[in-house]
Chain A
Amino acid sequence: MKLTSDEQDTLQGNHGEAARLAMAVIVDIGELFGAEELIPVSQAHIDTTIYMVDAGVEFVEKLCELGARFSIPTQLNPSAVDLQRPEKLRADGEILEKSRRLERAYLKMGAIPTWTCAPYQQGLVPMFGEQIAWGESNAIAFANSILGARTNRYADLMDICVAIIGKAPGFGLHLTRNRKAQLLVKLADIGSDRFRDKTLFPLLGFVFGELAGDRIGALEGMPKDVEVDDLKAFSAAAASSGAVGLFHIIGVTPEAQTREMAFQGEAPEKTLEITSQMIQNAEDRLRTTNGREADLISLGCPHYSAVQFSRLRDCFAGRKVHDSVSFWVNTSRSVYSWIENSGVLQELEQAGVTVFVDGCPLQYPKKNWNFTVAMSDSAKFANYCFSQTGLEVAFGSMADCVETAVYGKIIRRGLSWQQS
């Protein structure tokens, strides 16, 4: 890999020890994966934010003590807890303390305290073609696919190194030639009218991700008039069931306005089909409840948008959450302040909804609560729920989740793809 004299200087330690260490990691990864040069990136989204193991805290604190500062605008994925209302969440003491240490170090290094996994719906939203370095699987897939920005799937720790240096090895999805679709994925018996059922988006994403694995797939057959929150649900599900960093939706996403564009003029390596039966099987595999009722509704995986909160308020239509159910929604501090200003938050709170910021629904402090079954509108949440939280899980639309909360019984209304 060719390095400029300035990059060489950094590698020699002439710009400080922190920069030397970060550059050494970046150069090694670049050499390994065939990068010819380092390319400037305009912003970073750091995934190493949820306290999981002490190695992460030590790594960030060490760089901070060595004087590391982020050289590009840098935003943060969720913390393990609600940093503003840890008592309400009944956050575990040790996890809160370690999360505070991460918070202090990141803020000292200059991070913007976004604490969200949906950075594309507030804050630093990259433009088409912009070279960026993002972590967090759903955010990476959204940035590459829906926005047409360019990022590799940044590993934890590597994301921090790139944010310090402001440059990344130029390989993989940063390069045009590596962004062409390999698989053509068609919808067999799923017509465009079926997309009126919003649960099709996350379930389809889940199946798509399983089929694609680490290859780039192009989906054909989704109507053009889709909403961004539906694409978000598709993208998050696909990136949880497969190592999906980029996908195309023909006629919808920017690099795939036509099939030719998606495949950069080449023929698909393979064509696959998704059937209604595969969608139904996906939902069956995501449900682990066995007839038990939900005692927790958990929304906001990824973090809810202001639009989703308005819809949620409309679904309640003045009704209230049943005594046997808790209703939690996770979002960012920015979206929280918007819905607080608009009054939507107060209406939802009167209905019995609790809104948390900064945290992740999959990190809920299980020791301090006695929930047994969660219900969510997110296929990503349902996919990870049991392994991460120990809760059984049911899946449904936002409206199903509200009806379940109001009646205290799991309600999953007619699936439109079953009608044929």
Chain B
Amino acid sequence: MATVLKARTIVPGRCRGQVIKTSQSISFWGGVDPGTGTICDPRHELFGQTISGKILAFPFGKGSSTGSLIMLELVRIGKEPKAIINIKTEPILATGPIVSKHFYHREIPIVAMDKDQFEQLRTGQNIKIDTLEGCLVIID
């Protein structure tokens, strides 16, 4: 049976895809390879895994203001994540998807959810995000 999680819309959009989840924070600058969309920080638990085409779930962003530029490069070369799920989204993280929407007409929805909801997400789950009527995150 499908499970519906409660979430808040940060950047609107809809998509369906597979979750890749980490409980660690992610810095796009220095943490994600802008040429491939793989996690390139050897200290990160997702090191070597790709986020491109996935629904990336991580609790918070961290660090550099250059993260927005790395996200835009992933969009430019078609290696961006399908969507992002956070507990807390900071402006630097939201800037990449917002610029993508206006400059590349590419939608990368971001939703935020409370910790107990976030913890129901698992890597490999197929989920649906739809922020157009309310904010729905459904685990198939």
Contacts and interface: CB of A to CB of B under 8 A. Distances in A.
Interface of A: 21, 24-25, 28-29, 32-33, 47-48, 52-56, 58-59, 62, 135-137, 152-159, 172, 214, 243, 384, 387-388
B10 A32 contact: yes
A119 B116 CA distance: 44
A152 B103 CA distance: 23
Interface in B31-59: 34
A54 B98 contact: no
B102 A152 contact: no
A6 to B, nearest CB: 20
A29 B102 contact: no
B133 to A, nearest CB: 18
Contacts of A62: 103
Interface in B56-86: 62-70, 72-73, 75-76
B69 A56 contact: yes
Given A32-B10, A53-B34, A55-B75, A243 B91 contact: no
A154 B94 CA distance: 12
Given A21-B103, A29-B98, A55 B91 contact: no
Interface of B: 10-11, 30, 34, 62-70, 72-73, 75-76, 90-92, 94-96, 98-99, 101-103
B68 to A, nearest CB: 4
Contacts, number: 92
30 contacts: A25-B95, A28-B98, A29-B95, A29-B98, A32-B11, A32-B91, A32-B94, A47-B66, A48-B69, A52-B66, A53-B69, A53-B76, A54-B73, A55-B73, A59-B99, A135-B65, A136-B65, A137-B65, A153-B65, A153-B92, A155-B68, A155-B91, A155-B92, A156-B66, A156-B68, A156-B95, A157-B96, A243-B63, A243-B90, A384-B30
A133 to B, nearest CB: 12
A33 B91 CA distance: 7
Contacts of A48: 66, 69
A59 B72 contact: yes
Nearest to B27: A243
A25 B69 contact: no
Contacts of B64: 137
A32 B65 CA distance: 18
